[in-house]
Amino acid sequence: MRDIGILKQALPYFREYKGRIFVIKIGGELLQDESVIDDIAQDISLLHQVGIKAVVVHGGGPQANALSKKLGITPKIIEGRRVTDEDSLEITKMVFAGKINHEILTILRKHGSQAVGLSGIDGDVIIAERRAPMEVVDKATGTKNNVDFGWVGDIKSVNVDLLNILLEKGYIPVISSIADDGEGNILNINADTVASGIAVALNAYKYITMTNVNGILKDKNNPKSTISYISYNDASRLIEDGIAEGGMVPKIKQCVWAVKNGVKRVHILNGCVQDSLLQEVFTKKGIGTMILSDEEIEEYKKTGF
């Protein structure tokens, strides 16, 4: 009977979210464990079955790093961003748009969901431009370096026509973070950037980024100090004050950008925790961190949505 009670508690969320678009970004670190990705795929399939229109964007950094090392290529990461030379680009194409994308499709199918694998190139979903060399500050030393990120792209535009067609037909688009510049050059784009850009372009109700940490922490040394919800202004201050650092910085920046550009609810949560996606979406307390505007915080306190 306890399980029935839990189901009834979720009923208002089913009603509220039916027909809404959720963009879910799955970090590559989660895709290394078959049991974790199976659990996430099952959760996404449940969202799909109750009428939520899910779009999945995935990373694959750890897998690209592993293949690089096998091939004798040393991956280069600067301030949480990957430098992509010619060799690294070939690896990125194989891992992101090939291996990982198809594995996600297969597991979603296992749980009864029809999914379509895409990259940003398909249907001109993402048009990008190669990133110009830029000045990067080493936060540890304060040293400024001019860095050429190679075949790394920045988004110029997002076209969601194809995604809307697939969503209306009941498919789950699964998108890898590969794009092109319209001039024959393939580019590697940060998956958080792709996911937040698509969430904004689709006018998604939620943008959810699933990683291997519990959310935004009050104390970076205490994994249990998860902040349940926070305004985007306060989230930005955590970066300025050095409380958020490393790979979490670009994640938070993209979350803040998404909220500022119209996504009502943005979440960071730990995909390694079983059923974390369902707990975050269908309970008021949630399990990760939700980022929203000051105005929406008041609405959330009143309604729980």
Among 4, 54, 44, 14, residue whose Cα is nearest residue 207: 54
| Six token digits for residue 64 | 């690209």
% of residues, the chain, pLDDT over 90: 65
| SS3 at position 266 | strand
| SS3 at position 16 | helix
Residues ≥6 apart with Cβ < 8 Å to 9: 282, 283
Q: What is the pLDDT of residue 214?
A: 93
Q: Which amino acid is at 287?
A: I
Q: Is the pLDDT of residue 274 over 60?
A: yes
Second-level CATH architecture of 20-204: 3-Layer(aba) Sandwich (3.40)
Q: Is the pLDDT of residue 107 over 90?
A: yes
**Average pLDDT value for residue range 252-272:** 96
Residues ≥6 apart with Cβ < 8 Å to 23: 54, 55, 57, 195, 196, 198, 199, 202, 204, 206, 207, 208
Among 285, 264, 263, residue whose Cα is nearest residue 215: 285
| Six token digits for residue 300 | 């959330």
For 65-105, how does the pLDDT look when each residue is reduced to its tens digit (9 = 90+)?
A: 888 888 888 877 776 667 888 888 899 999 998 899 999 99
For 120-159, how does the pLDDT look when each residue is reduced to its tens digit (9 = 90+)?
A: 999 999 999 999 887 777 766 777 878 888 899 999 999 9
Sheet hosting strand 186-188, strand order edge to edge: 153-158, 126-130, 178-180, 186-188
CA distance 94 to 87: 11
Domain definitions of the chain by residue range: 20-204, 214-305
| SS3 at position 126 | strand
Determine how β-strand 144-147 pairs with β-strand 134-137: antiparallel
CA distance 6 to 2: 6
The model's pTM is: 0.93
